[in-house]
Chain A
């Protein structure tokens, strides 16, 4: 559980770092791209706004100068005597005002007296004197005048254009309906929340604000500074273009909400963001897969290393234990030799005694025999420990493991059948032979078979199989259906003197010796518990070719 945790922490860290390394540059890329896109979109808006206002300026100029030129033409064409007559003016009005933008026409003599008037306000204006009016003076001095827009008597916005003839004998004045004029400023480019209007120098609206403002905003007022050409100002929300017209008397404002014109930008931005997000996602998925793959590799590598370490540890332990046991056995053998020698000596001297004087002669002799017997017992153990009984014969012979097992089984088959133990042979027919020490190996097999028979008890079963593994080594398995080996015992099962049998029933040397023999023959022996119950001893031996 803990190692599982350890690996998931590594996985998390790895994935985290990778994701961080992917996401940070991607986010930066996205931000920079978006910012650049927006800048260029805003630039484009500015450019088109500039073009728009240039165009509007020309339209307004053209309109104003068109009216001016018309009047100038009329005063040039008709003398005061002609136009001063009401019926002549009426006829003229009808002919020039087919578009309907001219509201009325005045003819005023140089002293300011009105000579003729055609238009809707005749009754209130007839006979009026303009001598003191500022615009009148201006016309006389400059030759012409274009007024600001004002609300006339009927609350209709209009402005006045007045010109005089070259001799300044009279003034022709026209009131222009500025509704027509207002329409000149309309443009779809401005957008829904945009605005376009004209103000005079004082900042008074000459055309109505399309957003319904009655007064110039604070920020807009700041732009109301005389300048040549087009000025473009930008704040967070709006882009405002201004241009002076009419000899610097009026200023055109064209204003657009940046947001309204960013539609194409948003589309591009969304495309870019989607692409970047998709790329990031692909990278992250790849990273996760890679991290998982890497971790699986790491885990299996660690596991292999742990297994190897365990095997090495086991081998080292067995070697140490073996040395220790041999040392102890040696130290014990010498005293044992002395005990048996001394006892034997007593036994030899006893018959020399006078039987009449030694009352317990029989007892002594029996006792001596017992001493010898126990020394023999101890000697057997030390000899087995020291490997005395298993001299590795110098000459190895070609051995067929199947036959060897069969032979070992023949020793125990009778006992097994008494106990109704089934022995299943699962031999590979074409098992290769190997050069090894047959008798030693047979002792190992016999040990394992005996252990299995002891373990399964009445009616159990033992399955013995031989095979060749992927590396061409011989594999022999002894699988029983006994109680198996307790997990706490599995580590020391090969230790000398380790036994789970009742005292006196086993020396605890069988598996130790088996281990030692297999080791010396260049093989390995391992034990595991089967899931279905019981233990499996597996011996792996190299195939050694003859010669």
Chain B
């Protein structure tokens, strides 16, 4: 599995810390953020490929955070995680450009798969951009 950077955003410490630990163990570079605000700060300063984002959080909620992320880092893929029957918020999240949404409880394997898929998408996307840039460079004379 390729190595990529994940940011886990959840207000529940136990879940966040354990998930970070487990993803680290699987060889992913993982950071945790307890709130949307914190997540945005981390995104600003460090390289992140995929964000695992809890929808329901105190303060800035998942949807709002997602919106901010899309503005700040449009290339970063976001996977939403919800414990609620928020089919509507799931749909809304997808409309806002989330990669997918998952429902608790979810085991690590399917979570990893989803995160990998998200990363793959990001990577392909990035590659396309790079190729386009290269084409532009090559087209430029001298």
- Residues 283-324 of chain A: 1 if any B CB is under 8 Å from the residue's CB, otherwise 0? 000000000000000000000000000000000000000000
- Are the CB atoms of B105 and A391 closer together than 8 Å? no
Please give the distance in Å from B138's CB to the nearest CB on chain A.
41
- Which of the listed residues A338, A386, A387, A388 has the most CB atoms from chain B within 10 Å of its own CB? A388
- Are the CB atoms of A391 and B85 closer together than 8 Å? no
**How distant is the Cα of A329 from the Cα of B85 in the complex, in angstroms?**
8
Residue numbers in A under 8 Å from B85 (CB-CB): 326, 329-330, 385-388
- Are the CB atoms of A341 and B18 closer together than 8 Å? yes
- Are the CB atoms of A341 and B22 closer together than 8 Å? yes
**How distant is the Cα of A372 from the Cα of B18 in the complex, in angstroms?**
16
Residue numbers in B under 8 Å from A394 (CB-CB): 91
**How distant is the Cα of A330 from the Cα of B105 in the complex, in angstroms?**
10
Q: Which residue of B lies closest to A343 (CB)?
A: B107
- Are the CB atoms of A341 and B87 closer together than 8 Å? no
Q: A340 on the interface (CB 8 Å rule)?
A: yes
Residue numbers in A under 8 Å from B64 (CB-CB): none
**How distant is the Cα of A238 from the Cα of B18 in the complex, in angstroms?**
124
- Are the CB atoms of A383 and B103 closer together than 8 Å? yes
Q: Which residue of B lies closest to A349 (CB)?
A: B25
- From known contacts A341-B15, A341-B22, infer whether A334 and B107 are also in contact, taking CB-CB under 8 Å: no
Please give the distance in Å from B82's CB to the nearest CB on chain A.
9
Please give the distance in Å from B90's CB to the nearest CB on chain A.
7
Q: B130 on the interface (CB 8 Å rule)?
A: no
Residue numbers in B under 8 Å from A348 (CB-CB): 22, 25, 108
Residue numbers in B under 8 Å from A340 (CB-CB): 105-107
Q: Which residue of B lies closest to A383 (CB)?
A: B103
Please give the distance in Å from A395's CB to the nearest CB on chain B.
12
Q: B37 on the interface (CB 8 Å rule)?
A: no
- Residues 26-37 of chain B: 1 if any A CB is under 8 Å from the residue's CB, otherwise 0? 000000000000
Residue numbers in A under 8 Å from B19 (CB-CB): 341
Residue numbers in A under 8 Å from B107 (CB-CB): 340, 344, 372, 375-376
- Residues 83-120 of chain B: 1 if any A CB is under 8 Å from the residue's CB, otherwise 0? 11101001100000000000111111000000000000
- Are the CB atoms of A336 and B18 closer together than 8 Å? no
Residues 332-381 (chain A) with a chain B CB within 8 angstroms: 333-334, 336-342, 344-345, 348, 372, 375-376, 378-379
Q: A276 on the interface (CB 8 Å rule)?
A: no
- From known contacts A337-B15, A344-B22, infer whether A392 and B105 are also in contact, taking CB-CB under 8 Å: no
- Are the CB atoms of B87 and A379 closer together than 8 Å? no
- Are the CB atoms of A345 and B83 closer together than 8 Å? no
Residues 1-59 (chain B) with a chain A CB within 8 angstroms: 12, 14-15, 18-19, 21-22, 25
**How distant is the Cα of A345 from the Cα of B104 in the complex, in angstroms?**
16
A interface residues, how many (CB within 8 angstroms): 28
Please give the distance in Å from A377's CB to the nearest CB on chain B.
11
**How distant is the Cα of A392 from the Cα of B91 in the complex, in angstroms?**
10
Q: Which residue of B lies closest to A335 (CB)?
A: B105
- From known contacts A387-B87, A388-B85, infer whether A337 and B21 are also in contact, taking CB-CB under 8 Å: no
**How distant is the Cα of A348 from the Cα of B104 in the complex, in angstroms?**
20
- Count of chain A to chain B residue pairs whose CB atoms are closer than 8 Å in the complex: 68
- Are the CB atoms of A333 and B108 closer together than 8 Å? no
Please give the distance in Å from B115's CB to the nearest CB on chain A.
15
Please give the distance in Å from B32's CB to the nearest CB on chain A.
13
**How distant is the Cα of A397 from the Cα of B63 in the complex, in angstroms?**
29
- From known contacts A333-B105, A344-B22, infer whether A392 and B14 are also in contact, taking CB-CB under 8 Å: no
**How distant is the Cα of A469 from the Cα of B107 in the complex, in angstroms?**
48
Residue numbers in A under 8 Å from B14 (CB-CB): 338
- Are the CB atoms of B21 and A336 closer together than 8 Å? no
- Are the CB atoms of B87 and A345 closer together than 8 Å? no
- Which of the listed residues B14, B21, B105 has the most CB atoms from chain A within 10 Å of its own CB? B105
- From known contacts A326-B85, A341-B19, infer whether A388 and B105 are also in contact, taking CB-CB under 8 Å: no
**How distant is the Cα of A394 from the Cα of B90 in the complex, in angstroms?**
12
**How distant is the Cα of A394 from the Cα of B94 in the complex, in angstroms?**
12
Residue numbers in A under 8 Å from B12 (CB-CB): 334
- Are the CB atoms of B105 and A375 closer together than 8 Å? yes
Residue numbers in A under 8 Å from B15 (CB-CB): 334, 337-338, 341
Q: Which single member of A329, A344, A388 contacts B87 (CB below 8 Å)? A: A388
Q: Which single member of B21, B91, B103, B105 contacts A339 (CB below 8 Å)? A: B105
- Are the CB atoms of B83 and A330 closer together than 8 Å? yes
Residue numbers in B under 8 Å from A392 (CB-CB): 87
Please give the distance in Å from A235's CB to the nearest CB on chain B.
100
Residue numbers in B under 8 Å from A379 (CB-CB): 104-105
**How distant is the Cα of A379 from the Cα of B107 in the complex, in angstroms?**
11
- Are the CB atoms of A391 and B87 closer together than 8 Å? yes
- Are the CB atoms of B22 and A337 closer together than 8 Å? no
- From known contacts A333-B83, A338-B15, A388-B85, infer whether A345 and B22 are also in contact, taking CB-CB under 8 Å: yes
Residue numbers in B under 8 Å from A386 (CB-CB): 84-85, 87, 103
**How distant is the Cα of A384 from the Cα of B84 in the complex, in angstroms?**
12
- Are the CB atoms of B25 and A334 closer together than 8 Å? no
- Are the CB atoms of A391 and B91 closer together than 8 Å? yes
Residue numbers in A under 8 Å from B22 (CB-CB): 341, 344-345, 348
Residue numbers in B under 8 Å from A372 (CB-CB): 107
Q: Which residue of A lies closest to B26 (CB)?
A: A348
- 16 additional A-B pairs beyond A330-B85, A340-B105, beta carbons within 8 Å, are A326-B84, A330-B83, A334-B12, A334-B15, A334-B104, A344-B22, A345-B18, A345-B22, A348-B25, A348-B108, A375-B107, A385-B85, A386-B103, A387-B87, A388-B87, A394-B91
7 contacts between A and B (CB under 8 A): A333-B104, A337-B83, A344-B108, A348-B22, A348-B25, A391-B87, A392-B87
